[in-house]
């Protein structure tokens, strides 16, 4: 059994899959630090603390180094640098402002401040996977409540037991349309 080098906390040196995933999300630049930690698999209640530790440079220097390398690789690949983008957005903002296009100038400044790390888009979509957490009975109960609350949305519903013998959807739509309002003939 070989001895793996240890880092400062006594853990084996190198990166875990979660740390690599975290770095990938950070470099994407779409999510907050805590959301990056959650997406990488860290617990919901400790994601903020974990993100802070992963980024502070002391606790997990390999993570910070990986983020740096990934950003540099991205800059080389796309020929886009942070400094270059910040400069370009500043030029666009000034030009838009001089032209009286204040909305465009404000948008350029918003993007520039987010890119520079001054602001973070805090919109998080926590509701996306709520249904994944529910049991079949809970989902059925929610659907029943929706049907009760919005009965008109379910008026024309037909239960299909055997799909082999039903009419094609396009044929049904065409038949319904021509019965109600026939198309004028030229």
pLDDT digits (tens, 9 = 90+) for 80-114: 777 888 888 899 999 999 999 989 989 888 888 88
Q: For residue 47, give Cα distances in angstroms to 15, 22, 52, 120, 183.
A: 18, 11, 9, 16, 59
Share of the chain above pLDDT 90, in %: 30
Which residues contact residue 11 at a Cβ distance below 8 angstroms, ignoring those fewer than 6 apart?
none
Q: Give a yes or no: residue 71 inside a domain.
A: yes
Q: Has residue 70 been placed in a domain?
A: yes
Q: Model pTM?
A: 0.44
The reply to whether 70 and 112 lie within a common domain is: no
Residue numbers of the domain that contains 52: 1-79
Q: What is the pLDDT of residue 23?
A: 95
- Mean pLDDT score of the chain, rounded to an integer? 78
Q: Are residues 70 and 111 both part of a single domain? A: no
At 67, list the tokens.
């983020």
What is the pLDDT, as a whole number, of residue 185? 55
Domain termination site, one of 79, 110, 143: 79
User: Are residues 104 and 96 in contact, defined by beta-carbon separation less than 8 angstroms?
Assistant: yes
Counting the structural domains of the chain, the total is: 2
Residues 56 and 41 occupy one common structural domain: yes
């Amino acid at each position: 059994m070989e001895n793996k080098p240890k880092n400062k906390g006594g853990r084996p040196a190198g990166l875990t899959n979660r740390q690599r995933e975290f770095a990938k999300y950070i470099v994407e630049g779409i999510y907050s630090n805590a959301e990056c930690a959650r997406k990488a698999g860290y617990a919901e209640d400790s994601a903020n603390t974990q993100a802070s530790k992963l980024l502070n440079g002391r606790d997990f220097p390999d993570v910070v180094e990986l983020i740096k390398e990934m950003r540099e690789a991205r800059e080389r690949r796309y020929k886009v640098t942070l400094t270059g983008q910040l400069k370009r957005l500043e030029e666009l903002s000034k030009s838009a402002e001089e032209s009286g296009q204040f909305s465009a100038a404000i948008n350029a400044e918003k993007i520039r401040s987010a890119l520079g790390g001054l602001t973070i888009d805090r919109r998080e979509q926590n509701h996306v996977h709520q249904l994944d957490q529910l049991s079949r009975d809970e989902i059925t109960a929610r659907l029943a409540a929706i049907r009760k609350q919005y009965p008109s949305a379910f008026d024309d519903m037909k239960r299909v037991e055997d799909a082999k013998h039903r009419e094609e959807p396009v044929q049904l739509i065409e038949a319904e349309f021509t019965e109600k309002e026939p198309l004028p003939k030229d």
